[in-house]
């Protein structure tokens, strides 16, 4: 069991609807030493990948991505949820269905911050059905940039996102892959 799996078992809780709550250390209160360990681990796993930018999505990806960026020594760009693209200028846009809120958000990245010269590591906290990742991949490729890799903190392996993204040929590194979750017993197992 690795450091993140142990933390999930010790402090995470399983909610109905296939939701894992990790707000003690990842989604509300942030444990910076844990985030540093995650950043170090992604750097190790992607040491041979070319990365000059990290892309994530607001809100919960931002903290994780910023700490990871210290290890890659690159800037972070986050896709913003936007109701009014008019004030944002020239943007790349994708529609992303939120797994936890069941709403569709329009997310945007300014064309000033992503382009054909970029080699992008996409970082996010969770991978469930893969909607958030699909949106970030779409924006990266529309910009003519390369997806060098994808780093996820917690993949829920019993949902379809991980298989879909790997089948599309992307290099996906999840630090913890949850195999099953039981809301009644409050336990989960890892792959």
Residue numbers at the binding site for ligand 5GP (CB under 6 A): 19-21, 27, 60, 99-100, 124-132, 156, 161
Provide, rounded to whole angstroms, the least separation between the CB of residue 126 and ligand 5GP.
Answer: 4
Q: What tokens does 180 get?
A: 């099953």
Residue 44 Cβ, how far from ligand 5GP at the closest point, in Å? 23
Of 60 and 140, nearer to ligand 5GP (C-beta) is 60
Give all strands of the β-sheet with 146-156 in edge-to-edge order: 91-97, 104-110, 76-81, 53-57, 119-127, 146-156, 172-182, 187-190
Q: Which is nearer to ligand 5GP, 52 or 177 (CB)?
A: 177
Count of alpha carbons within 13 angstroms of residue 135, beta-carbon side: 27
Which of residues 81 and 111 has its CB atom nearest to ligand 5GP in the complex?
81
Minimum CB distance to ligand 5GP, residue 48 (Å): 26
- 3-class SS shares of the chain: helix, strand, coil, % to 5: 30, 35, 35
* Listed residue (66, 123, 115) closest to 91, CA to CA: 115
- Between 15 and 32, CB nearer to ligand 5GP: 15
Of the candidates 55, 56, 57, 3, the one whose C-alpha atom is nearest the C-alpha of residue 31 is 3
Radius of gyration of the chain (CA): 16
Cβ 160 to ligand 5GP shortest distance, Å = 9
CB of 132 to ligand 5GP, least distance (A): 4
Closest CA to 28 of 95, 83, 100, 82: 100
Q: Which is nearer to ligand 5GP, 54 or 131 (CB)?
A: 131
Q: First and final CA of the chain: distance in angstroms?
A: 10
């Amino acid at each position: 069991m690795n450091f993140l799996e142990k933390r999930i078992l010790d402090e995470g809780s399983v909610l109905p609807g296939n939701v894992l709550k990790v707000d003690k250390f990842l989604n509300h209160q942030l444990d910076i030493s844990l985030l540093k360990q995650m950043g170090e681990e992604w750097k190790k796993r992607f040491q041979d990948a070319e990365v000059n930018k990290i892309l994530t999505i607001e809100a919960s990806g931002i903290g994780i991505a910023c700490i990871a960026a210290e290890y890659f020594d690159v800037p972070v760009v986050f896709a913003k949820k936007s109701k009014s693209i008019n004030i944002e200028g020239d943007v790349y846009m994708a529609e992303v269905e939120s797994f936890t809120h069941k709403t569709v958000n329009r997310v945007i990245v300014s064309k000033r911050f992503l382009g054909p010269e970029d080699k992008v590591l996409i970082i996010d906290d969770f991978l469930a059905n893969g909607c958030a990742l699909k949106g970030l991949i779409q924006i990266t490729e529309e910009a003519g940039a390369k997806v060098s890799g994808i780093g996820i903190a917690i993949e829920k392996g019993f949902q379809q996102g991980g298989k879909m993204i790997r089948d599309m040929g992307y290099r996906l590194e999840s630090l913890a892959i949850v195999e099953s979750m039981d809301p009644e017993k409050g336990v989960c197992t890892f792959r």
